[in-house]
Amino acid sequence: MITATDLLLIVDVQPDFMPGGALPVPEGDAVLPVINRLQERFANIVATQDWHPADHASFASQHPGKAPFDTVPLPYGPQVLWPDHCVQGTPGAALHPALKTERIQMVIRKGFHSAIDSYSAFRENDRQTVTGLNGYLRERGITRIFVTGLARGYCTDFSAEDAADLGYQVVLVEDACRGITPEATAAGTARLRAKGVALSQSSFL
């Protein structure tokens, strides 16, 4: 049963992550109707938005001789390089036009520091820089978080792991998420189970 202390977290539902986008997640657009239906059940809804400057350190274009999906060392550790995506102010960085937004109470923009990538809704990839979401949720009295969006293995899963580390009960809604690759999804699932994150389907909520 969904209660007044539950939150629906919608991660990075943006055109650049949809089929035809700059960094497409296979079947990424399939999450839209599921998330829109789920929103009707929740009193508390937060979305995240990847929001990169054009010279972001995670872009392969900023590393001569490197290609998307190569890995390079950055000051905070290994970093997968991505195609340029979700560049601030571009249509691909907007929340998807088919996503219902009228009941979303806060949008957390992440990845706007040019030198640090940010997968999680709570902490950037240096694992030190926080987004402020935890403070907001504590003030609101949230105790359980249902994670949806894109993409498994990366932003949804890092967000769920960090939420569990911060003491929230966490449920990842599998049919409201999609992954970049089966391998990334499987690795993410192993990490989530190790953190005590529950995996469920929207029909069971």
- Report helix, strand or coil for 189: helix
Burial pattern 117-136, b for ≥16 Cβ within 10 A else e, equals bbbbbbbbbeeeeebebbee
The pLDDT mean for the chain works out to 97
State residue 156's pLDDT score: 98
pTM, 2 dp: 0.97
pLDDT of residue 151: 98
List the catalytic residue out of 155, 157, 162, 177. Answer: 155
Do 122 and 134 contact (CB within 8 A), yes or no? yes
Tokens of 15: 């055109």
Nearest-angstrom CA–CA distance, 47 and 131:
13
Tokens (6 digits) for 86: 């979700």
Which superfamily is assigned to 6-52+92-204 in CATH?
Isochorismatase-like (3.40.50.850)
At 21 the pLDDT is: 98
Q: Distance of CA 80 to CAs 5, 57, 69, 70, 166, Å? A: 35, 10, 6, 6, 25
Q: What's the average model confidence in pLDDT over 50-79?
A: 97
- Return the CA Rg of the chain: 16
Catalytic residue among 6, 16, 84, 110: 110
Average pLDDT over residues 73-82: 95
What is the spatial order of strands in the sheet that 198-200 belongs to?
Answer: 106-110, 45-50, 6-11, 144-152, 169-179, 198-200
- Residue 155 annotated to the active site: yes
Q: Which helix (H) or strand (E) holds 71?
A: strand 71-74
Query: HSE (CB half, 13 Å, CA atoms) of 28?
Result: 28
From 6, 12, 16, 162, the catalytic residue: 12
110 as an active site residue: the answer is yes
pLDDT digits (tens, 9 = 90+) for 5-52: 999 999 999 999 999 999 999 999 999 999 999 999 999 999 999 999
| Selection from 140, 101, 138 nearest residue 122 by Cα | 138
Closest to 7 in 3D by CA, of 147, 130, 160, 154: 147
What DSSP line would sit under 137-166, residue for residue? Answer: HHHHT--EEEEEEEEETTHHHHHHHHHHHT
The phi and psi torsions of 175 (rounded to 5 degrees) equal: -80, -5
